[in-house]
């Protein structure tokens, strides 16, 4: 059904709203993940019981379905608009210097999005799938020991590097995406636009730094 919406303004609205929901989710997810920075014994029990709480809560379950839907819709929209762009552009320029007028990340949202999407697949496979459908040992409180799974993965340098690359891509995606989404849904007042632009930069920075600190902290702390 989603393929029937042909109007690109409506398409972009969908892209903006799903993007904003995903951005909001990043805050909640980061807040949960920051528990990994607590002292090890406390972090293990607290993080596992937090995961158990999320897994068993019906409201969280509904929100998680909205989240999956947003990821899928955001991706389908990107593919649709990508095809449309190719058609609208027609023949490309032989000498193209148009890049001087805009930031590189605003022009390459698709490429940044692909990096984030590939990372999401790895991320879902390594944690979400194992937690939901795999077998994990239990901790002292009888909760699935997701904490140890996370720690073991971040003890490997290559995994930390992949994680950081993905988060940097995500950071640039947000740097353009957050303010662009507000424009798309129709925020035209110059004052609010300036505020959103600054808040968007702060948001992208806080999210990227927040997510990058975690694997680095774990990697350094678990070196023998």
Contacts with another protein by CB under 8 A lie at 6-13, 81, 84-85, 87-98, 100-103, 106-107, 109, 176, 179-180, 183-188, 190, 193
Nearer to another protein, 6 or 224 (CB): 6
Nearer to another protein, 96 or 224 (CB): 96
List, as one string, the DSSP characters of 43-106.
HHHHHHHHHHHHHH-HHHHHHHHHHHHHHHHHHHHHHHHHHHHHHHH-SPPSS--GGGGS-HHH
Strand-pairing partners, residue 138, are: 144
Q: In the complex, what is the shortest distance from the CB of residue 14 to another protein, in angstroms, rounded to a whole number?
A: 11
State the first-to-last Cα distance of the chain, in angstroms, to the nearest integer. 54
Q: In the complex, what is the shortest distance from the CB of residue 179 to another protein, in angstroms, rounded to a whole number?
A: 8
Q: In the complex, what is the shortest distance from the CB of residue 54 to another protein, in angstroms, rounded to a whole number?
A: 34
Nearer to another protein, 153 or 180 (CB): 180
Q: In the complex, what is the shortest distance from the CB of residue 181 to another protein, in angstroms, rounded to a whole number?
A: 9
- Strand stretches in the chain, DSSP E: none
Nearer to another protein, 109 or 170 (CB): 109
Residues for the chain: how many in total? 224
């Amino acid at each position: 059904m989603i393929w029937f919406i042909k109007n690109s303004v409506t398409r972009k609205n969908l892209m903006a709203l799903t993007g904003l929901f995903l951005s909001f989710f990043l805050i909640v997810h980061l807040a949960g993940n920051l528990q990994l920075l607590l002292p090890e014994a406390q972090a293990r029990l607290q993080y596992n019981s937090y995961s158990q709480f999320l897994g068993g809560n019906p409201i969280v379950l509904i929100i998680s379905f909205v989240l999956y839907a947003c990821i899928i819709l955001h991706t389908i929209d990107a593919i649709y608009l990508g095809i449309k762009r190719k058609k609208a552009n027609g023949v490309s320029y032989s000498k193209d210097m148009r890049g001087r007028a805009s930031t590189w990340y605003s022009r390459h949202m698709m490429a940044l999005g692909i990096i984030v999407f590939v990372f999401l697949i790895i991320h879902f496979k390594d944690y979400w799938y194992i937690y939901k459908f795999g077998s994990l040992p239990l901790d002292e409180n009888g909760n699935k020991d997701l904490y140890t799974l996370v720690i073991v993965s971040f003890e490997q340098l290559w995994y930390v590097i992949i994680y950081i690359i993905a988060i940097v891509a995500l950071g640039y995606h947000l740097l353009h995406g957050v303010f662009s989404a507000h424009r798309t849904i129709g925020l035209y007042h110059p004052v609010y636009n300036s505020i959103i632009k600054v808040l968007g930069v702060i948001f992208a920075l806080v999210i990227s730094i927040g997510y990058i600190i975690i694997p680095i902290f774990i990697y350094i702390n678990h070196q023998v």
